[in-house]
Chains A and B, each alone.
Chain A
Amino acid sequence: AQSVTQLGSHVSVSEGALVLLRCNYSSSVPPYLFWYVQYPNQGLQLLLKYTSAATLVKGINGFEAEFKKSETSFHLTKPSAHMSDAAEYFCAVSEGSGTSYGKLTFGQGTILTVHP
């Protein structure tokens, strides 16, 4: 069975500071990993995905994430926070098996607040 744990339900940073959102996963097979962002009253937007190519994945809006198998982690970072980054972020996992068609398992989400 697959699962995702996001450490910290709320993260607060100052504008211009480093953003670090933590995600650890559990999967019985090599996973595919994703980060999504959700703005109020909107759906989820795909930020980036890991599909076993490069371990450092670059996404949209300056975000990137590094897959570390030994730590079962896929933390999301951005060097310099912008006010527009304030939103809720979700880490998700999908297992590369036939039983996982169309199924993403999500973490509980991390609300990012950016202070001026």
Chain B
Amino acid sequence: KAGVTQTPRYLIKTRGQQVTLSCSPISGHRSVSWYQQTPGQGLQFLFEYFSETQRNKGNFPGRFSGRQFSNSRSEMNVSTLELGDSALYLCASSLAGLAGAGQYFGAGTRLSVL
């Protein structure tokens, strides 16, 4: 069974631009969560989607948004990029997003904002 796939692996953008990241979950998994990983703040939860609905959201500004499609694939969008948005963005999938299920992560998209 294929794992979680994130594309692209690397992105370079400039301040003010917007970016879209993609995540394909493990087949059969309906919950997709997104995390931001930085050296200073560590791993922080962005949001979670299940059946095309956002069920949970972390403490990030509205510039960070996401969506999920009927095939459970998810995209994350960041508008008006800032230097501080440079990070590794990780996507994780689980069957239903329940607390005890454990999440399975992709390799991430490394975003550099210049």
Contacts of A36 in B (CB 8 A): 105
The yes or no answer to B94 lying at the interface (CB within 8 A) is yes
CA distance A42 to B104 in the complex (A): 12
* Docked complex Cα distance between A32 and B100 (Å): 6
Q: How many residues of B contact A (CB 8 A)?
A: 29
Contact bitstring B31-68, A, C-beta under 8 A = 1, else 0 = 11101000000110100111000011010000000000
Name the segment of A16-24, A77-85, A93-101 touching the other chain: A93-101
**B42 with A109: CB separation less than 8 A:** yes
B98 at the A interface (CB under 8 A): yes
**Which residue among B33, B55, B102, B107 has the maximum number of chain A CB atoms within 10 Å of its CB?**
B102
The closest CB in chain B to the CB of A43 belongs to B105
In the complex, chain A residues whose CB is within 8 Å of the CB of B48: 101-103
Complex interface bits, A100-112 against B, C-beta within 8 A gives 1, otherwise 0 = 1111111111000
Closest residue to B55 on the A side, CB-wise? Answer: A101
Q: Tell me whether B99 is interfacial, beta carbon within 8 Å.
A: yes
- A51 contacts B55, C-beta separation under 8 Å: no
**How many angstroms between the C-alpha atoms of A52 and B98 in the bound complex?**
14
Most chain B CB within 10 A, of A34, A36, A99, A104, is at A104
